[in-house]
Amino acid sequence: MTSMAPGRLKSWLLLGEWRAHPVRTLVAVAAIAIGIALGFAIHLINAAAFNEFSSAIKGLSGVADVQVRGTEPVFDENIYPVLAALPEVVVASPILEVEASIPGQRSALKILGIDVFRAGFISPDLVGAPSEEHLQDTISDDAIFLSPAAQQWLSAREDKPLQFQLGVGTVALRYAGALQSARAGQRLGVMDIGAAQWRFDRLGKLSRVDLKLRDGVNRDVFKNTLQQRLQRDHPGRFLVNQPNDEDQSSRNEGMSRAYRVNLTVLALVALFTGAFLVFSTQALSVIRRRSQFALLRVLGMERRQLLRQILLEGLCLGVLGSAIGIAAGYGLAATALHFMGADLGAGFFSGVRPTVHFTPVAAGVYFALGVTVALLGCAAPAWDAARAKPAVALKSGTEEAAISRLATVWPPLAGMVLAALLSQAPPIFELPIFGYLSIALLLISVIALMPRLAAAVFRAAHRRWSVVVASRPGASPVLTLTLARLANASSQAGIALGGVLSSFSLMVAMAIMVSSFRVSLDDWMRHILPADVYVSTVSGGATAGLRPAQQQAIAALPGVEGTDFLRVQSIALAADRPAVALIARDVDANDPARVLAMVGGVRTPVAGEPPPVWVSEAMIDLYGMAVGKRIELPLAGRQHAFTVAGVWRDYARPTGSIQMRLSDYRAITGDPDASSVALWLKDGANQPGIERALKALPFAATLDISTPSDIRDMSMKIFDRSFAITYLLEAIAIVIGLFGVAATFSAQTLARAREFGMLRHVGVTRRQILAILAIEGGSLTALGIATGFVLGWVISLILVFVVNPQSFHWTMQLHLPWGLLAGVAALLLSAAALTALLAGRQSLSGGPIRAVREDW
């Protein structure tokens, strides 16, 4: 023993084990690699998209030190000379932002109206590049400059006017040149601010004012002082922020943070499963080599050397898996950005075209995470092998006793109690950190209980079968032998179930969560789409709309019994949060549930109090609103008081929305326009007839006509595209579970060659042994599936009722996809039985005498 160099001994032991069981090793490495690849890929995609998105926003701000924005989309331009005259300001650049609707398109074009003479000092990237023959186009009243992405999208040519929608009419603008400094994929148009105000009916209106301060002025002090002054002189009308400060970053990041974090956690599900596969692999390997390790101890290997040897095996698995995962993750990120876009279908980062960049720090973090997971997976088996007494371990049949020491009951039970407590904890930074910890702790605790659970189940089954055998002497000996083995080797069975349980339970939890959301979304749309026909001008943008004349023409159509006109505008309630949608429509204050998906009780308006509004669930979490609370909203240039009369569920706007009565909105703002209208038909009227009547209107070319089924179908397609990555993660969890089943049962079967040899000596046939293996594999997997279903259901409760409300600020109904769960369970059962049969045939390929000679 001492003649062999320590390094050669370690490599000999390591490579010998890998050569003996290559498939099991590859499965453990693959599980680690898949988890690291998915997590690292999603990190690279989100980092690239967010950085590109932030760079695009910063490009619009240029070198402005401070920005003044309105709480409404536009505000009176009279504030501009006040800001420009401040002694600390050297240049003030007025800007009008217009989300211009485009006929026939469901997306809008952001158009910035700028004062080219002032913008040149603050945001020169916004100044267009006219041709030498038309240098005056930068101040022309019909010229627009487009970014390369917008020019390509609109197929813009200098000889072809571009059409933008205003109400039900159109505005023609001439393509005058390019914005050469725009980011790749950024769709943007720039024109003279006076022309933009005139062309888009925004005379006297601005969206923001960019301020460049004099040298030596403290930006933070100026920002706070200006915010206080504006709040005093114009309460609730303006928000002051620094373009590159935390307010801007948090507003941009907050749009997608919960989505990105949830995707990352789902990606690490594979890594979490890989940890249990490493544990299962190493535990079974240590059990099988228990006598070999004892012999090495007798020959002079120290306990610390043995501990390091087993940890080295886990370290090598982690290093290989992490290295492969980092490389695969980079390739996966590049592929996903090319085919799926920066937002992975969620729509958070539309308008950017990022490229993936390798980040060494993140790669190092994920590499270390994979190695750590692998080391944790083999820590318990290594510690048990090092503590075993050589004289005891040399004896056959001590494996079960060694494993039973790992099956202490009180730590898992304490972990489950702690998991239940953590699930009730509030979010941190608006993220369900404790919810995720609760899920991880629950998984670990239940898997740790599996040896005891397997012992209880199979011993009870063995006792019951023993009674049957006593009363029926001719009962099958195959089932007797199978139950006897499972009852007396339950700890090994429990370890074998670790990978099955983790993968299946997490797959069940994700499937229930996605199915619950999908069904809840469909039910929600059925509730909020009660009309027969829905008519809008265009789906994207803020310049299209129905004027009073068009509203009257639609309402007067034959066959129309009732109408519900709707107006949508955005308002900003906090500088560090995205804008909130303000929706005005006909809502019955005594029965708002007729058109809104109400959550909880409804408060009937009381005479003398402010008008009622109904807020979405997000407003409760993000702004602290509550039923009965008095709030103030910015409308028509000043603050107006309202009373929260109820809370409704809004899956379309996770950043928050507020519903108010259309009559109250029009009385306050004087805005008579509508964004869309819902039509109820008279008895006897049919949808095709109404569509023909709508298409006969003079402004029919600007209308988009839909039915509730059309809207639901389109929404479900968007949902499936947004959750495509989640479906992929579910499929990966299933594949890992199948491979885990195959590797675990093949390893156990091959390690029992001596046991099968003894059974052959006492007269058990090859067919009977194969039947034993098939029943054993099916029984173990069935127990894992049953336990995994219960565990997955509990985890899904945390996901549905804790994680999702804390992440996205909405609630949903629980729905179980029985067909999918049954199909996956059948796959796992088949894989377990088939693997056990194939491995059994290999174990039985030698003669019985050769199989038992190892005991002599």
Tell me the per-residue pLDDT of 424-449, one tens digit each, with 9 for 90 and over: 999 887 788 899 899 889 988 888 88
Does residue 851 have a pLDDT over 50?
Answer: no
d(CA 274, CA 279): 9
**Residue 396 falls within a domain, yes or no?**
no
DSSP label at 674? B
DSSP label at 799? I
In this structure, are 472 and 541 located in the same domain?
A: no
In this structure, are 800 and 849 located in the same domain?
A: yes
β partners of residue 92 = 211
More confidently predicted of 118 and 843: 118
Strands 143-146 and 169-178: parallel
Residue 771 has a pLDDT of 81
What's the first-to-final CA gap in the chain, in angstroms? 23
**What mean pLDDT comes out for the span 813-825?**
90
> Confidence band (pLDDT; 50, 70, 90) for 2?
very low
Residue 270 has a pLDDT of 63
| Vertex 114: Cα angle to 113 and 120 (nearest 5) | 155
Residue 746 has a pLDDT of 65
**Helix 490-528 and helix 477-488, axial crossing angle in degrees, nearest 10:** 90
Tell me the Cα Rg of the chain.
34
**Distances, alpha carbon 165 to alpha carbons 109, 594, 700, in Å:** 11, 33, 13
Summarised one tens digit per residue, pLDDT across range 33-62 is 887 887 888 778 777 766 666 666 666 777
3-state secondary structure 50-94: HHHHHHHHHHHHCCCCEEEEECCCCEECCHHHHHHCCCCEEEEEE
Computed from CA positions of residues 725, 728, 734, 739, in that sequence, does the dihedral angle turn out positive or negative? negative
DSSP label at 181? T
Q: Is 71 exposed, middle or buried (0-12, 13-18, 19+ CB in 10 A)?
A: buried
d(CA 409, CA 412): 6
**Residue 280 falls within a domain, yes or no?**
no
In this structure, are 331 and 371 located in the same domain?
A: yes
**Residue 386 falls within a domain, yes or no?**
no
d(CA 2, CA 742): 39
d(CA 114, CA 210): 11
d(CA 489, CA 623): 57
Residue 145 has a pLDDT of 95
The residue written with tokens 């800007």 in the block is 95
d(CA 705, CA 457): 60
Torsion of CA 199, 200, 201, 203, to 10 degrees: -70
Token readout for 588 is: 């019955």
**Residue 289 falls within a domain, yes or no?**
no
DSSP label at 570? E
Of these ranges, 413-417, 505-509, 576-580, 717-721, the one predicted with the greatest mean pLDDT is 413-417
Does residue 249 have a pLDDT over 50?
Answer: no
d(CA 79, CA 265): 47
Count the domains in the chain. Answer: 4
CA-closest candidate to residue 842, choices 754, 776, 746: 746
Does residue 783 have a pLDDT over 50?
Answer: yes
**Distances, alpha carbon 171 to alpha carbons 101, 166, 174, in Å:** 10, 7, 10
Phi, psi of 469 (to 5 degrees): -65, -40
In this structure, are 128 and 173 located in the same domain?
A: yes
> Using an 8 Å Cβ cutoff, are 64 and 93 in contact?
yes
DSSP label at 138? G
Residues whose CB falls within 8 Å of the CB of residue 762, separated by 6 or more in sequence, listed in order: none
Token readout for 659 is: 């519903």
Say which range, 27-41, 158-172, 336-350, 741-755, has the weakest mean pLDDT.
336-350
> Using an 8 Å Cβ cutoff, are 310 and 380 in contact?
no
**What mean pLDDT comes out for the span 777-803?**
89
In this structure, are 627 and 568 located in the same domain?
A: yes
Last residue of a domain, one of 706, 735, 756: 706
| Vertex 446: Cα angle to 443 and 451 (nearest 5) | 135
Please tell me whether residue 25 adopts helix, strand or coil conformation. helix
Computed from CA positions of residues 792, 795, 800, 801, in that sequence, does the dihedral angle turn out positive or negative? positive
In this structure, are 732 and 601 located in the same domain?
A: no
**Residue 758 falls within a domain, yes or no?**
yes
Residue 491 has a pLDDT of 60
Residues whose CB falls within 8 Å of the CB of residue 596, separated by 6 or more in sequence, listed in order: 528, 587, 614, 646, 648, 659
> Confidence band (pLDDT; 50, 70, 90) for 854?
very low
**Residue 395 falls within a domain, yes or no?**
no
> Confidence band (pLDDT; 50, 70, 90) for 487?
confident
> Confidence band (pLDDT; 50, 70, 90) for 245?
very low
Give me the domain span that covers residue 818.
Answer: 407-523+710-856
Last residue of a domain, one of 706, 736, 769: 706
Summarised one tens digit per residue, pLDDT across range 178-234 is 987 787 778 899 999 999 999 999 999 999 999 999 998 999 899 999 999 999 999
Q: Is 795 exposed, middle or buried (0-12, 13-18, 19+ CB in 10 A)?
A: buried
Say which range, 35-39, 510-514, 664-668, 783-787, has the weakest mean pLDDT.
35-39
DSSP label at 107? S
d(CA 796, CA 504): 12
Residue 753 has a pLDDT of 65
Of these ranges, 159-173, 194-208, 326-340, the one predicted with the greatest mean pLDDT is 194-208
CA-closest candidate to residue 321, choices 32, 124, 550, 707: 32
DSSP label at 764? -
Summarised one tens digit per residue, pLDDT across range 733-751 is 667 666 666 666 666 666 6
In this structure, are 735 and 797 located in the same domain?
A: yes
More confidently predicted of 545 and 421: 421
Token readout for 39 is: 């997590």
In this structure, are 568 and 463 located in the same domain?
A: no
State the CB neighbour count (10 A cutoff) for residue 110.
18
> Using an 8 Å Cβ cutoff, are 173 and 144 in contact?
yes
Say which range, 391-400, 631-640, 782-791, has the weakest mean pLDDT.
391-400
Token readout for 243 is: 């373009």
Residue 658 has a pLDDT of 97
d(CA 732, CA 328): 15
> Using an 8 Å Cβ cutoff, are 287 and 403 in contact?
yes
Residue 745 has a pLDDT of 66
**Residue 290 falls within a domain, yes or no?**
no
> Using an 8 Å Cβ cutoff, are 635 and 668 in contact?
yes
**What mean pLDDT comes out for the span 519-542?**
87
In this structure, are 499 and 648 located in the same domain?
A: no
pTM: 0.81
Cα 83 to chain center, whole Å?
42
Token readout for 319 is: 């290093």
β partners of residue 613 = 644, 660
β partners of residue 205 = 76
d(CA 194, CA 115): 8
DSSP label at 536? E
Helices (H) and strands (E) in the chain, counts: 29, 22
β partners of residue 99 = 110
**What mean pLDDT comes out for the span 796-807?**
90
**Helix 360-387 and helix 303-339, axial crossing angle in degrees, nearest 10:** 150
**Residue 398 falls within a domain, yes or no?**
no
d(CA 30, CA 32): 5
In this structure, are 639 and 517 located in the same domain?
A: no
In this structure, are 103 and 208 located in the same domain?
A: yes
d(CA 197, CA 783): 70
In this structure, are 510 and 472 located in the same domain?
A: yes
